[in-house]
Amino acid sequence: MKNIFLAFLITASSHFATAQNEVVNAFSSSYKFESFKQYDKAIGALKTVYDINSYEINVRLGWLNYLQGEYTESEKHYNQALTIQSKSIEALLGLTYPQAAMLNWKNLASTYAKVLLLDPKNKTANFRLGQIFYNKKQFKKAENNLELVCNSYPFDFDANVLMAQIKTKQGNISEAKEFYTKALLYNPDSIVILKALVQLQ
């Protein structure tokens, strides 16, 4: 009886190792195909080992389908990944790619808001949500998000530029100049910043 159980364990371990190797090989192939921009083949490699309950496979397929331009399919896989790992900031940020590509601003803003519930100081979510509010002319809301970014990353070029633009729209020219000047220190050759400062004179 003991020998039978031992044989069973060895057989089960062997099958598990084989299955694991197949998944690893599929991921390896998908990365190689992606490097050559052969996204359909990269997706196909993972589909051979697809498991609906695998977070990693669904996140990877979400990314590859986004690169392939299959945005609905990408969104589906990212949502499946979130079904498995509901607190994954990684998957939430991944989901924003197809949403942005489909110009689904309402869902995009909602996804960034979910990121901020998990990580209130998340740089990407705060910056992108600030951009959305800025484009909607909701400048106070945009300012609130950008303040969090600028406080944590005071020398970030994009954050300083966007905050300067927000301050300009609010009529706060002196503060706008300060943020533009910080951006100029990051990139002294920026024609865009130099022009913006001239226009604020």
Is residue 190 pLDDT above 60, yes or no?
A: yes
Average pLDDT, the chain: 93
Q: Both tokens of residue 2?
A: 């003991």
Number of H helices, E strands in the chain: 11, 0
DSSP string, 149-193: HHHH-TT-HHHHHHHHHHHHHTT-HHHHHHHHHHHHHH-TT-HHH
> Up-side HSE of residue 85: CA atoms within 13 Å toward CB?
15
| pLDDT tens, position by position, 138-147 | 999 999 999 9
Over residues 154-179, the mean pLDDT reads: 98
Contact 156, 150 (CB under 8 A): yes
Cβ atoms of residues 94 and 112 within 8 Å: no
For 2-20, what is each residue's pLDDT tens digit?
555 444 444 444 444 466 8
Output the pLDDT for position 201: 87
The full DSSP string for 91-124 is HHHHHHHHHHHTT-HHHHHHHHHHHHHH-TT-HH
DSSP 48: T
pLDDT tens digits, one per residue of 54-106: 999 999 999 999 999 999 999 999 999 999 999 999 999 999 999 999 999 99
CB 91 within 8 A of CB 61: no
Q: Model pTM?
A: 0.87
Contact 187, 160 (CB under 8 A): no
- Residue 4: per-residue pLDDT: 54
Report the pLDDT value the prediction gives residue 2, as an integer from 0 to 100: 53
